[in-house]
Chain A
């Protein structure tokens, strides 16, 4: 157990809908990262937050957004869902914002029908 929690574990929804994925980092970690794992694109970095502020952005679609709250938990919002958004979404956390190891949560498996 990495200490990173993600809810829900599974999510099934329809095209056009909006969902929110939640992540709680390890105790003491200030950075949260979101990654998407799909069969065709592999593991891709989406976005990073550090102590409530957006720090880095990767291949995140405009339909997706995220935030980190004062208690350091983070939410990834996915809207206008398409079939291609079906993937495993991981949250990872690290102590700081640089060379620290990122520890991953168990992931949320999103299925868009």
Chain B
């Protein structure tokens, strides 16, 4: 079974608008971490934001925020005030448990920001 599901293969957003990227996860562990990474066309993977399963507040990093809904097992990324440089592939990832260190990635969502 897929541990991370990203249902939106591609999205278009107008410059300066906000966009929400969906991510749902599947785990039976109580302790886990959720990550979002950005992969521009140049190929590198850039860490954006992290949410721990025990964190009560939603994580925020600049224009990035994570809408964490634990009961629904969702961890949506919100990018506010989109910029042309935000055009990229975005991956949601999860690390499960306290002894498993690998990241499981979703299939990714391509975001294209229009001027």
Interface residues of A, Cβ cutoff 8 Å to B: 2, 31, 33, 35, 42-45, 48, 55-56, 58, 88, 90, 92, 94, 97-99, 101-107, 109
Check B35 for interface membership: any CB of A closer than 8 A.
yes
Number of interface residues of B (CB under 8 A): 23
Alpha-carbon gap, A42 to B105, bound state (A): 8
Check B100–A56 contact: CB distance below 8 A: yes
Check A48–B43 contact: CB distance below 8 A: no
Alpha-carbon gap, A46 to B70, bound state (A): 28
Contacts of B98 in A (CB 8 A): 98-99
Check B90 for interface membership: any CB of A closer than 8 A.
no
Alpha-carbon gap, A72 to B50, bound state (A): 25
Contacts of B107 in A (CB 8 A): 42
Contacts of A2 in B (CB 8 A): 44, 46-47
B1 CB → nearest A CB, Å: 15
Partner of B101, one of A31, A35, A105: A31
Q: A99-B52, A104-B45, A106-B43 are in contact. Are A42 and B102 (CB under 8 A)?
A: no
Q: A42-B108, A99-B52 are in contact. Are A104 and B101 (CB under 8 A)?
A: no
Residue of A nearest to B106 (CB): A42
Contacts of B95 in A (CB 8 A): 99
Residue of A nearest to B91 (CB): A43
Contacts of B33 in A (CB 8 A): 99
Alpha-carbon gap, A113 to B70, bound state (A): 46
Residue of B nearest to A9 (CB): B43
Going nearest first, the 5 A-B pairs with the smallest beta carbon separation are A104-B45, A45-B102, A43-B105, A106-B44, A107-B43
Contacts of A107 in B (CB 8 A): 43-45
Check B43–A88 contact: CB distance below 8 A: yes
Check A33–B45 contact: CB distance below 8 A: no
